[in-house]
A and B are shown apart, each in its own frame.
Chain A
Amino acid sequence: MSPSHRILARLSIRTKVPLVAGLLILVVGGALSTAAYLAMKRAAMERGGERLVSLAGQFHETFRGSIGDVKARAIAAARKPALARYLQSPSPAREGAALAALEYSGPQPELTLATELRDASGRVLLSAGRQGGPAQPRLPSLGERDSAPLGAALPELASPDSAAIGRLRQDQDSLAYPIAARIPSEPGGYLVIWRRVSNAPQSRAQIARIFGSEAAFHFGNADGSIWSDLGRATAPPPVDPARLEGLQRYSRRNGPGDVLAAAGRIPGTPWAFTIESPVHAVLAPTRGFLRTLTLIAALCVTIGLGAAALLSRRLTEPLRHLTDAADAIASGEVSRRVRLARADELGRLGASFDAMATQVEEARHRLEETVASRTRELNQALRQLQNTQESLVRREKLALLGQLAGGVSHELRNPLAVMSNAVYYLELIQPNPPEEVRQYLGILRDQIIQSAKIVDDLLHFSRTPSANRQPIPLRRILTAVMPQLPELDGITLEHEVPDTLPEVKVDAAQAGQVILNLLINAVQALEQSGSGGRITLRATLLNEALVALEVTDSGPGIPPELQGRIFEPLFTTKARGIGMGLSVSKTLAQLNGGDLTLAGGDGAGTTFVFTLPLAREGG
């Protein structure tokens, strides 16, 4: 993978799409703009050229007219008879008339430097300057310098009915040129008029008006010797003089630089002219076009980038939502959905994703439910196991205790019996003992009976009999128990046992023993607190299998730290008692298919719940 590929791969789609779109727009727009600009440039050059050529044509026509006019004047002036007469006999008498004839009469007389009368060989015979003008002193030098070449050219230049115009010459800070016309006489001669090229500001303004401010008019000798832009001398165009015709393109180093020029020869003269326009001026409208084009391109790129960014966002935003949702689901938030409100491919992807997420969520819920259900079952099984274990431990303890109690009971009963016999004997031999003796014998007898009862209880409670379970109404068991209760001194006993309660299936004697035990405990608890109280017996249908009998007393309750131990064998909080009652009761309750639990008992009395199985369940 090349570095650029790697960079592209690392970029997000959201960045990539606008980037690629922008690049595309730039490339396409750039290519189109370049093509348009080049076409525009070519068209501008063509149009500029055409305009220059058209101007040159107009100029050419104008020149043709004015040159013709100048020549006609020269021809007319050469026909004046005074000139011919002076040529025939140059005498001082005729000089005045000849000089008067030489006076230039035409438009722009200030441009005429001098008018000369020359003989056939070209020698200057007479010369008339402009009246009062400064031209007069310059003429000799001009005439001397040019007499030879002009003289050599004169016969060819001037036919009887025509005139000729010579090359331009430098005359101090302006240009001058000669117009020669043949004087029709014998001997022959020539009239030569020297005129200056106008460099007045209005002439340049006129030219500028015609060609535009950027365009320049140059003219000079076609051989390239002297050129001017009507204001000052300029370099001739850097073109072979023979090819100085039509549209040209060249560079003026010290001037406007690259120029487009229309060149032409001025008819009837040895002159040529160029109308030059700098290429940058020709291309000026193109630059405007280029600016507009650049502006449009920039606008296109901006709009394109914006649109691409928007589109990219529209495309990637749902993808981001999808990614976020997938991450959320992966991290456990299974209720997460995308809910893309669109009907395109992304919308369908979102819908499929949501459907999948729903399935995942449902599967997870099912799994959780299954786990929860299994956990409940396990917990239940664990509780049962713990109960069974507790029960087993308790029974084992009881069995051990029973064995011990059996032996101890037997071994204690014999000495107790001997003691009992001894007391009886003493009472027999002393029917009327002193009061003290009688009292102490009584104490001995009571303690022997008490001891025998303790041993008896220990033995009795530690045996685990089998249950002979029969269907029986709970009320009947209660009725059998009540007479066995000790005297309830200041204690209220309340029954809440409905007649509608179904029969239970228990060993009536064992169930009665449990209830009696609970009631005796309650009575003892109330006696301990010493201020009477209330005991409530309340039976309810717990579920389809069990009846719950609640035995509640309003006594002091059982301290929390002792509540876990009350069902242990040999545990007691009473001043008297061996701590077998609740342990044996729980064993009996479980033996009969129910249980005995502590429901409450801290400060607000104590409630034991004795559950008994229903007869109709067949358990």
Chain B
Amino acid sequence: MSRRILVVDDDLAMTQTLCDILRLRGWEPRSAHSGEAAIAAQREDPCPVVLMDIKMPGIDGVQAWRTMKAERPELRGVLMTAHTAPELLAEAERESDARVVIKPLDLAGLLELLERGG
């Protein structure tokens, strides 16, 4: 099974640190910095797993995820948000049909979640 993963966030420091950590744990990360760039990257060279921030300029994480998921139903992924309101989290999970985690990230938990396939 491929350990390729697409990390999407408009914050470059965020994608850099995440990619470095994932690489150390045996993943092959790629990064994108907007929803549009992420969709384009998936169409060109799809990764089986996506870790994507929800709040981004342009297409937000939920929409981008739904687009990718529609194009590749086997796609697995985890969304990230800095919002903590439970109702917002619930809404994001319902609309995206994906797991949503809160920033700052519980990295041990997140890595475990990704190992299990999102």
- The reply on B1 being an interface residue by CB < 8 A is no
A421 touches B24 (CB 8 A): no
| Minimum distance in angstroms from A443 CB to a CB of chain B | 16
Residue of A406, A417, A425 touching B104 (CB-CB under 8 A): A417
- The reply on B2 being an interface residue by CB < 8 A is no
Residue of B14, B24, B85 touching A417 (CB-CB under 8 A): B14
A417-B21 contact, Cβ under 8 Å, with A424-B107, A452-B104: no
B104 touches A420 (CB 8 A): yes
A417-B84 contact, Cβ under 8 Å, with A410-B55, A422-B17: no
Residue of B17, B25, B83 touching A418 (CB-CB under 8 A): B17
| Minimum distance in angstroms from B69 CB to a CB of chain A | 24
Q: CB-CB contacts of A439-474 with B at 8 A, as 1s and 0s?
A: 000000000110010001001100100000000000
A413 touches B104 (CB 8 A): yes
Q: Which of A411-429 contact B (CB under 8 A)?
A: 411, 413-422, 424-425, 428-429
Q: Which of B77-114 contact A (CB under 8 A)?
A: 80, 82-85, 102-105, 107
Instruction: Give CA–CA (A415, B104) in the complex, Å.
Output: 8
- The reply on A409 being an interface residue by CB < 8 A is yes
CB closest chain-A residue, reference B107: A424
- The reply on B13 being an interface residue by CB < 8 A is yes
Residue of B25, B83, B85, B107 touching A421 (CB-CB under 8 A): B107
- The reply on B41 being an interface residue by CB < 8 A is no
Residues on the A chain within 8 Å of B11, using CB: 414, 418
The interface centre, meaning the residue of B11, B21, B25 with most chain A CB atoms within 10 A of its CB, is B21
Residues on the A chain within 8 Å of B59, using CB: none
- The reply on B39 being an interface residue by CB < 8 A is no
Residues on the A chain within 8 Å of B25, using CB: 428
Residues on the B chain within 8 Å of A421, using CB: 14, 17-18, 21, 104-105, 107
The interface centre, meaning the residue of B13, B82, B83, B102 with most chain A CB atoms within 10 A of its CB, is B82
| Minimum distance in angstroms from A85 CB to a CB of chain B | 199
Residues on the B chain within 8 Å of A410, using CB: 55, 82-83
**Interface size, A (range):** 20 to 34
Residues on the B chain within 8 Å of A411, using CB: 82
B103 touches A413 (CB 8 A): yes
Instruction: Give CA–CA (A425, B18) in the complex, Å.
Output: 8
CB closest chain-B residue, reference A460: B84
CB closest chain-A residue, reference B105: A417
A459 touches B17 (CB 8 A): no
B82 touches A424 (CB 8 A): no
Instruction: Give CA–CA (A406, B20) in the complex, Å.
Output: 30
CB closest chain-B residue, reference A429: B24
Residues on the B chain within 8 Å of A416, using CB: 103-104
Residues on the B chain within 8 Å of A449, using CB: 104
Instruction: Give CA–CA (A429, B25) in the complex, Å.
Output: 10
CB closest chain-A residue, reference B53: A414
Instruction: Give CA–CA (A425, B105) in the complex, Å.
Output: 12
Instruction: Give CA–CA (A458, B104) in the complex, Å.
Output: 16
A414 touches B107 (CB 8 A): no
A418 touches B13 (CB 8 A): yes
Residues on the B chain within 8 Å of A420, using CB: 104-105, 107
CB closest chain-B residue, reference A412: B82
Q: Which of B25-61 contact A (CB under 8 A)?
A: 25, 55
Instruction: Give CA–CA (A410, B11) in the complex, Å.
Output: 13
| Minimum distance in angstroms from A51 CB to a CB of chain B | 146
Instruction: Give CA–CA (A415, B11) in the complex, Å.
Output: 9
CB closest chain-B residue, reference A465: B87
The interface centre, meaning the residue of A410, A424, A425 with most chain B CB atoms within 10 A of its CB, is A424
Residues on the B chain within 8 Å of A463, using CB: 85
A425 touches B103 (CB 8 A): no
Residues on the A chain within 8 Å of B105, using CB: 417, 420-421
Residues on the A chain within 8 Å of B14, using CB: 414, 417-418, 421
| Minimum distance in angstroms from A468 CB to a CB of chain B | 13
Residues on the B chain within 8 Å of A452, using CB: 104
Instruction: Give CA–CA (A425, B16) in the complex, Å.
Output: 11
Residues on the B chain within 8 Å of A422, using CB: 17
CB closest chain-B residue, reference A449: B104
| Minimum distance in angstroms from B75 CB to a CB of chain A | 24
The interface centre, meaning the residue of B85, B102, B103 with most chain A CB atoms within 10 A of its CB, is B103
Instruction: Give CA–CA (A411, B113) in the complex, Å.
Output: 25
B82 touches A413 (CB 8 A): yes
Q: CB-CB contacts of A259-276 with B at 8 A, as 1s and 0s?
A: 000000000000000000
Residue of B21, B84, B85, B103 touching A428 (CB-CB under 8 A): B21
Instruction: Give CA–CA (A459, B55) in the complex, Å.
Output: 17
A425 touches B13 (CB 8 A): no
A428-B104 contact, Cβ under 8 Å, with A414-B14, A418-B11, A459-B85: no
A448 touches B104 (CB 8 A): yes
Instruction: Give CA–CA (A420, B83) in the complex, Å.
Output: 16
Residues on the A chain within 8 Å of B104, using CB: 413, 416-417, 419-421, 448-449, 452
A425 touches B84 (CB 8 A): no
Residue of B21, B80, B83, B84 touching A424 (CB-CB under 8 A): B21
A456 touches B24 (CB 8 A): no
Residues on the B chain within 8 Å of A419, using CB: 104
Q: Which of A394-417 contact B (CB under 8 A)?
A: 406, 409-411, 413-417
A417-B20 contact, Cβ under 8 Å, with A409-B84, A410-B82, A459-B85: no
A456 touches B17 (CB 8 A): no
Instruction: Give CA–CA (A425, B23) in the complex, Å.
Output: 10
Residues on the B chain within 8 Å of A428, using CB: 21, 24-25
Q: Which 5 residue pairs of A and B lie closest in terms of their CB atoms, listed nearest first?
A: A413-B82, A421-B17, A417-B103, A420-B104, A417-B104
Q: 27 A–B contact pairs at CB < 8 A?
A: A406-B83, A409-B82, A410-B55, A413-B103, A413-B104, A414-B82, A415-B13, A417-B14, A417-B80, A417-B103, A417-B104, A417-B105, A418-B11, A419-B104, A420-B107, A421-B14, A421-B18, A421-B104, A421-B105, A421-B107, A422-B17, A424-B107, A428-B21, A428-B25, A429-B24, A449-B104, A456-B84
Additional A-B contacts beyond A413-B103, A414-B14, A421-B105 (19; CB < 8 A): A410-B83, A413-B82, A413-B84, A413-B102, A413-B104, A414-B82, A416-B103, A417-B14, A417-B103, A417-B104, A420-B105, A421-B14, A424-B17, A424-B21, A428-B21, A449-B104, A459-B84, A459-B85, A460-B84
